[in-house]
Amino acid sequence: MSVARRLIKCVILDLDGTLLNTDGIVCNVLKVSLGKYGKEWDGRETLKIVGKTPLEAASAVVEDYGLPCSPIEFVSELSPQFSDQWCNIKALPGANRLIKHLKSNGVPMALASNSPRESIDAKISFHDGWKDSFSVIIGGDEVRTGKPSPDIFFEAARRLKIEPSSCLVIEDSLPGVTAGKAAEMEVVAVPSLPKQSHLFTAADEVINSLLDLQLEKWGLPPFADWVERTLPVDPWYIGGPVIKGFGRGSKVLGIPTANLSTKDYSDLLAEHPAGVYFGWAGLSGRGIFKMVMSIGWNPYFNNKEKTIEPWLLHEFTEDFYGEELKLVIVGYIRPEVNFPTLESLIAKIHEDRRVAESALELPMYSSHKDDSYLRSS
Ligand code: ADP
Ligand code: RBF
Ligand code: MG
């Protein structure tokens, strides 16, 4: 275990993209609004708008698409549409766990977001216990300049009555990380956009999702919910006919992965962080098997699309393309990473298999073997 770098006394959290999965909602609203101007939202501006104040984000879009309105007009046009969607925003994986853990361990928390205070209050009202967990909540409209200026973090520290150097900031965006470092705080980046971690060099640590946060690194009470190197997750389900993948699982790695079409599951895939998970697999007519899988872009192969790669922990004598495969995912093992050699990737996947195989014997995981979903057709 590494020694804590500094003694951290509190945690300051960003909201959109860090605790809340706001991206999908933002994209949908922009898609509809731009449509009214006869323009097509292609998502390429996402990087320009994450972490910005509403006015800055609107300015970027108005300019890029040459809209016949001012950024202020565009903001007032979008505001009611966003407000209608706040009730549909889900907490990001690990957000509730983090908030509950810090609260029950008496670690003070602040929420510091570039959104206006009113929107913050509206958004968090849909998440039980959030409002009362934060000793301080500050919106971008409550300080002179929003992130990347450090103002909002200085103000949070002042209200918490804690030195900036004893604050840990958790942020998904570049402006947020810049602001946190300018406030001389420790900053963990959890990039909300895929394949962007190389841009976050200013952060003290870059993690893939809140599930990977190691609080003990910061001298904070560690999470106590890991069990035999696995983290239980709320079970989720995915299934369909087995399709052809990249054709390299068995050939290149000696590890076959039965691919599912990601088309019908884009929302579900977007919701779950890339990483290695495990659970149970039902293959119609053949039985139920232990399963370990990766979700993501397989950095070693640098895929363009996020895929699901389930390895059924059983020796089959033949392929089963086209057959109905059902998965229940019950736990998380680690983030997806790159490896210097194919051998080290293969060794790691075999280690994942051993972790999954033994964890699935635990009652908390083995009980899901009887889930009726696995036998449904
Ligand atoms: P592809 O790239 O087409 O997915 P792979 O080399 O990854 O090819 O092999 C996956 C295929 O191998 C599966 O679709 C399935 O038909 C077969 N297969 C055999 N044994 C297994 C196993 N234990 N787990 C997953 N797939 C297996
Ligand atoms: N690919 C990676 O690039 N990085 C990983 O960390 C990684 N972990 C994996 C873990 C498991 C359990 C499995 C089954 C696969 C993993 N792979 C990973 C994916 C591997 O690259 C993939 O199976 C091949 O790309 C097959 O197409
Ligand atoms: Mg495969």
8 Å CB contact between 310 and 323: no
Confidence grade of residue 54 (pLDDT, cut at 50, 70, 90): confident
**Site to substitute for ligand 1 among 305, 319, 323, most atoms within 8 A of C-beta:** 319
Which atom of ligand 1 is closest in space to residue 247's alpha carbon? 2
Q: What is the 3-state secondary structure (H, E, C) of 295-345?
A: EECCCCCCCCCCEEEEEECCCCCCCCCCCEEEEEEEEEEECCCCCCCHHHH
Average pLDDT over residues 161-182: 97
Encode pLDDT of 74-98 as tens digits. Answer: 999 999 999 999 999 999 999 999 9
Helices and strands in the chain: count of H runs, count of E runs: 12, 12
Encode pLDDT of 206-230 as tens digits. Answer: 999 999 999 999 999 999 999 999 9
pLDDT value of position 200: 97
Q: Is 246 in the pocket of ligand 2 (CB under 6 A)?
A: yes
Q: Pick from 247, 266, 271, 273: which is nearest to 258 by CA?
A: 247
CA 325 to ligand 3 center in whole angstroms: 13
**Site to substitute for ligand 2 among 242, 248, 257, most atoms within 8 A of C-beta:** 257
The reply to whether 267 belongs to the active site is no
8 Å CB contact between 171 and 189: yes
Average pLDDT over residues 107-114: 97
CA distances for 89 relative to 15, 58, 69, 212, angstroms: 11, 20, 28, 22
Q: Is 309 in the pocket of ligand 2 (CB under 6 A)?
A: yes
CB atoms inside a 10 Å sphere around CB 376: 12
Encode pLDDT of 122-160 as tens digits. Answer: 999 999 999 999 999 999 999 999 999 999 999 999 999
pLDDT value of position 49: 86
The reply to whether 84 belongs to the active site is no
The reply to whether 14 belongs to the active site is yes
Q: What is the mean pLDDT of the chain?
A: 94
Question: What domains, with CATH codes, occur in the chain?
Answer: 10-19+89-218 (3.40.50.1000), 22-88 (1.10.150.240), 231-375 (2.40.30.30)
pLDDT value of position 377: 75
Given 56, 309, 336, 352, the catalytic residue: 309
pLDDT value of position 262: 86
Q: What percentage of the chain exceeds 90 in pLDDT?
A: 84
Average pLDDT over residues 194-209: 94
pLDDT value of position 6: 67
State yes or no: pLDDT of 376 exceeds 90.
no
In the 8-state DSSP scheme, what is residue 2? P
Q: Pick from 33, 40, 38: which is nearest to 58 by CA?
A: 33
Question: How many CA atoms lie less than 13 Å away from 119 in the CB half-sphere?
Answer: 25
CA separation for the pair 187, 177 (Å, rounded): 6
**Site to substitute for ligand 1 among 316, 325, 326, 357, most atoms within 8 A of C-beta:** 316
**C-alpha distance across the termini of the chain, in Å:** 46
Where do we find the tokens 């205070």?
Answer: 117
CA 320 to ligand 1 center in whole angstroms: 7
Encode pLDDT of 301-319 as tens digits. Answer: 988 989 999 999 999 999 9
Encode pLDDT of 1-28 as tens digits. Answer: 455 566 899 999 999 999 999 988 888 8
State yes or no: pLDDT of 166 exceeds 60.
yes
pLDDT value of position 1: 47
In the 8-state DSSP scheme, what is residue 355? H
8 Å CB contact between 293 and 276: yes
CA 258 to ligand 1 center in whole angstroms: 4
pLDDT value of position 188: 98
Q: Is 253 in the pocket of ligand 1 (CB under 6 A)?
A: no
CA separation for the pair 364, 170 (Å, rounded): 31
- Ligand 3 ion local residues (Cβ < 5 A): 245, 249, 257, 259
State yes or no: pLDDT of 356 exceeds 60.
yes
The CA R_g of the chain, rounded to the nearest whole Å, is: 22
Helix (H) or strand (E) run with residue 24 in it: helix 23-36
DSSP state letters, 74-140: HHHHHHHHHHHHGGGPPBPTTHHHHHHHHHHTT--EEEEESS-HHHHHHHHTTSTTHHHH-SEEEEG
Among the listed ranges 13-27, 101-115, 342-356, which one has the minimum average pLDDT value?
Answer: 13-27
pLDDT value of position 51: 84
Which atom of ligand 1 is closest in space to residue 253's alpha carbon? 6
184 in the Ramachandran plot: left (φ > 0), alpha (ψ -120 to 50) or beta?
A: left
Which atom of ligand 1 is closest in space to residue 313's alpha carbon? 23
What is the pTM assigned to this prediction? 0.93
CA separation for the pair 309, 329 (Å, rounded): 12
